Structure 1
Amino acid sequence: MHHTSEYQILVIDIQTRFQPHIQIYPELVNTTGKLLTAAELLSIPALIFEQYPKGLGHTDPALTQFQIECHEKTTFSALNDASAKEAISLDPAVTKIVVGIEAHVCVYQTVRDLLTLQQPVVVVADAIGSRDTQNKTWSIEQLRHDGAVIMSLESLLFDILKDAKHPQFKSVSKLIR
């Protein structure tokens, strides 16, 4: 399918240690799981990043079933870590789809750095979280101002599909019903 190289998904720091601190954590993991399932159906490549797993634990087990390449980092922005940055496509024809934790720190800094490099970015609003919901609201406001597109998972998936005649339409739309 031609979608293969149009998008790349970056899953930022959805790690088990955050669970007790982020109210929407279960929904965030569930939404990210739907995104990654759709990515498999649509041949969209994805990467997982983990912030200092020694201290914060590893990616939520619900997401590790997807067999996605994982990069450990200590920098807040994935682009400030040499090996992490190398894995990210910096082709401006590839839209980066960003989800994860925390919206106002690692997600924010990664997206800001992508935008600085003239990369198109979509942030999935229902798949990012912060311990303080106000911080999430402010980071969405700032990222939109900086040039990121903010979308719900459902908007994004239908935008990728474009047409109800898409061969994966039924499978993908089932995910979001």
Structure 2
Amino acid sequence: MSAEVISDLKVDRADAVLLIVDVQERLASAMDPTLGTRAILNLVRLGAARTLLGLPVIITEQYPKGLGPTVADVRSAYGDVPAHEKVCFEAVADHPIAAALWDTGRRTVLLTGMETHICVFQTARALCAEGFRVHVLEDAVASRTRDNWEVGLSLCAKAGAVRTSTEVVLFDMIGKAGSDDFRAISKIVK
């Protein structure tokens, strides 16, 4: 494995941004129950860790008039973060969202949301094409069916994204045990 590939696997908290794609009321209620519940739980965990980690957050909503707002638990975990309305499946095709991402100055995107095989995949593909390091958090994305979730994850990886999980990312960003950060993250994931 090359040094470049290995460095792409590392999540540096000073270079990471969390992108939450379309975790909305009507969409979330249509997800595979296990995948949807798990995704929301892990998004809440990430919300609890974001200030500690200095993690900027971008939230998108696909056509909120039809799909509703971001689900209440996620809105609560990210209360001060505004949602960017979009109509394109590829989140960064909408200029304000792309601008918000570029404005962070960060090049590692922690990609989460719904649905894995549509908006998450198309966003991962676009971000990888733009040279971002994309980490798709498997336990923080969901689809209506498990088959589509698996296909979406596979396509994200083929596009160049790293398949990972919430705990992998959180512990990678803190890097060691015995610190206040470690104790705080350990409480969040329990």
1:100 paired to 2:113: yes
Which of 30, 42, 50 pairs up with 1:31? 42
Which of 42, 45, 70 pairs up with 1:59? 70
In the alignment, is the contact (CA less than 8 A) between 2:19 and 2:109 conserved in 1? yes
Letter in 2 for 1:110: T
1:6 paired to 2:15: yes
Q: Which residue of 1 aligns with 2:183?
A: 170
Which of 134, 137, 146 pairs up with 1:124? 137
- Per-residue deviation, 1:93: 5.4
Moved over 2 A (4+): 89-94
1:144 paired to 2:153: no
Percent identity of the aligned residues?
31
Structure 1: stretches of 5+ with no match in the other structure: none
Distance 1:125 1:109, change over 3 A: same
Q: Distance in 1 between matches of 2:73 and 2:86?
A: 21
Q: 1:163 aligns to what SS in structure 2?
A: coil
In the alignment, is the contact (CA less than 8 A) between 2:116 and 2:149 conserved in 1? yes
1:49 paired to 2:60: yes
1:69-100 residue CA offsets vs partner (Å, 9 max, x unmatched):
31000011111101111111378852100100
Q: CA RMSD in A?
A: 1.7
Structure 2: stretches of 5+ with no match in the other structure: 1-11
